Amino acid sequence: MARRALITGITGQDGSYLAEHLLAQGYEVWGLARGQANPRVSRMRKLLADVQVVRGDLLDQGSLISAVERVQPDEVYNLGAISFVPMSWEQAELTAEVTGMGVLRMLEAIRVCSGVSRGSSSRSGQIRFYQASSSEMFGQVTETPQNERTGFHPRSPYGVAKAYGHFLTQNYRESYGMYAVSGILFNHESPRRGAEFVTRKVTLGAARIKLGLATELRLGNLEARRDWGFAGDYVRAMHLMLQAAAPEDYVIGTGRMKSVRDLVEAAFTAAGLDWEQYVVLDQTLHRPAEVDLLCADPKKARVQLGWEPTVSFDDLVAMMVESDLRLLSNGGDPDQDSSWP
Ligand code: NAP
Ligand code: GDD
């Protein structure tokens, strides 16, 4: 029988790549989708016709229990979140509820539906749980590069909510013997990345300027450094983590850092433009507390899971610029458009 996976956050970047990967592995894939007429569900359905949809919301405990009862999954991937860091200052309580408490609700749905209780010892036949933890938990880093033992100093309500979900996942593993793991993923991008995140904002901005649809691009802190990889590589790591003999947490990243300035230069060069003529610095885009740098030490994932990233930073940026030039040349609207490459 095909293994069954339930993915929360199916309409997001990672949900789409993970669903494609699991379908290719022969899984029956279900996606949890929220809202009454969520336009992102139809975009997802066009790309992923074989994904079955179950309604539910990370804010609604009963809906998660119903979803787990209906799907009877072997594996649950909890990718749903308010994931845009600046929004977490504007709607801190909502972020805590969805990104933090949502993890508790999903774990409880699994615990209740599978009858797991304190002192359970056998993990066989259990629903395996993946939590989308984040390098944003490291925040003001205490060492570089960051590994599974590096301490957390989150710098945003989002990072704090993710840290809660991370520790709770560990706690359910320790308290109930659940097969529950966290992937501490560093920034990962793709042509399906939301237009609000800096990589896509820059590749879209360069493509718009190249096509004469814009004359400038406004950005905040160009000095921030991140470890950027390709989302398609990172969803393979999520799946590998749930196939391991024992549940453990892993850091996933490339081990290479680039600045926002490097990103801008690479994207504008890929579009055949000189960035200094078009980029405008905008203080209002700076954050109340910044994460200056993030850089992964992915050694554990490489040794224990055999995971390696396959797409370089330059190839990733070029892939995104090319995709955005194609999308805009065909009259697509990245904010509204129902097409996804
Ligand atoms: P994304 O594109 O922003 O997708 C977020 C998903 O969460 C969307 O499908 C959204 O659904 C869903 N969601 C929001 N509120 C929800 C709610 N109340 N109930 C159920 N679902 C809800 O994020 P992503 O880049 O794919 O990231 C996936 C996960 O990995 C997130 O948890 C993110 O925090 C984490 N993460 C991402 C990165 C990265 O660099 N991409 C790095 C580390 C960790 P709607 O369409 O209904 O809004
Ligand atoms: N979004 C954005 N817009 N960021 C900008 C801008 C701008 O105009 N100008 C500079 N930046 C800088 C931000 O200050 C930040 O330091 C960096 O670019 C990256 O910002 P984002 O792309 O918004 O990503 P993030 O690092 O805050 O968060 C992403 O990665 C996390 C993992 O480290 C998100 O995907 C999170 O959900 C994820 O957990």
Q: What is the pTM of this model?
A: 0.98
CA dist 154 and 165 (Å) reads 13
Say which ligand is closest to the CA of 77.
1
pLDDT at 237 over 90: yes
Predicted pLDDT of residue 141:
98
**How does DSSP classify residue 186?**
P
CA of 191 to the centre of ligand 2 (A): 16
Q: Is 131 in the pocket of ligand 2 (CB under 6 A)?
A: no
Distance from residue 249's CA to the centre of ligand 2 (Å): 23
* CB 189 less than 6 A from any atom of ligand 2: no
76 beta partners: 6, 129
pLDDT value, residue 335: 78
Residue with tokens 């996933």: 252
Mean pLDDT of 163-187: 98
Cis previous bond, 145, omega within 30: yes
Starting from the CA of residue 251, give the closest ligand.
1
Euclidean distance between CA atoms 195 and 127, whole angstroms: 34
- Percent of the chain past pLDDT 90, that is, above it, reads 94
Q: CA quadruple 283, 284, 286, 288: dihedral positive or negative?
A: positive
State the Cα–Cα distance between residues 307 and 32, nearest whole angstrom.
Answer: 27
How many A from CA of 202 to the centre of ligand 2? 11
User: Residue 212 has what pLDDT?
Assistant: 98
Q: Is 297 helix (H, G, I), strand (E, B) or coil?
A: coil
| 245 CB-near residues (< 8 Å, 6+ apart) | none
What are the structure tokens assigned to 17, written together?
A: 């790549």
Burial 15-30 (b: 16+ CB within 10 A, else e): bbbbbbbbbeeebbbb
What is the SS3 assignment for 75? Answer: strand
305-332 per-position pLDDT tens digit: 999 999 999 999 999 999 999 999 999 9
Q: Is 136 a catalytic residue?
A: yes
How confident is the model over 178-223, as pLDDT tens digits? 999 999 999 999 999 999 999 999 999 999 999 999 999 999 999 9
Q: Does residue 125 surpass a pLDDT of 90?
A: no
Q: Would you call 322 a catalytic residue per the annotation?
A: no
* Unique residue bearing structure tokens 């309580």: 93
Quick: pLDDT tens for 54-113: 999 999 999 999 999 999 999 999 999 999 999 999 999 999 999 999 999 999 999 999
Over residues 218-239, the mean pLDDT reads: 98
Ligand 1, residue 83: give the atom nearest the CA: 34
Sign of CA dihedral 258, 92, 166, 197: negative
Q: What does the DSSP assignment read for 93-154?
A: HHHIIIIIIHHHHHHHHHHHHHT--TT----TTPPEEEEEEEGGGT-S-SSSSB-TTPPP--
Contacts of 217 (CB under 8 A, 6+ apart): 201, 202, 205, 206, 208, 209, 264, 278, 279, 280
Taking residue 240's Cβ as centre, other Cβ atoms within 10 Å add up to 17
Q: Are 311 and 247 in contact (CB under 8 A)?
A: no
Position 123 scores a pLDDT of 63
pLDDT at res. 118: 66
Nearest CA to 264 out of 235, 299, 222 is that of: 222
- Pick from 6, 14, 105 the residue to mutate for probing ligand 1's pocket: most ligand atoms within 8 Å of its CB: 14
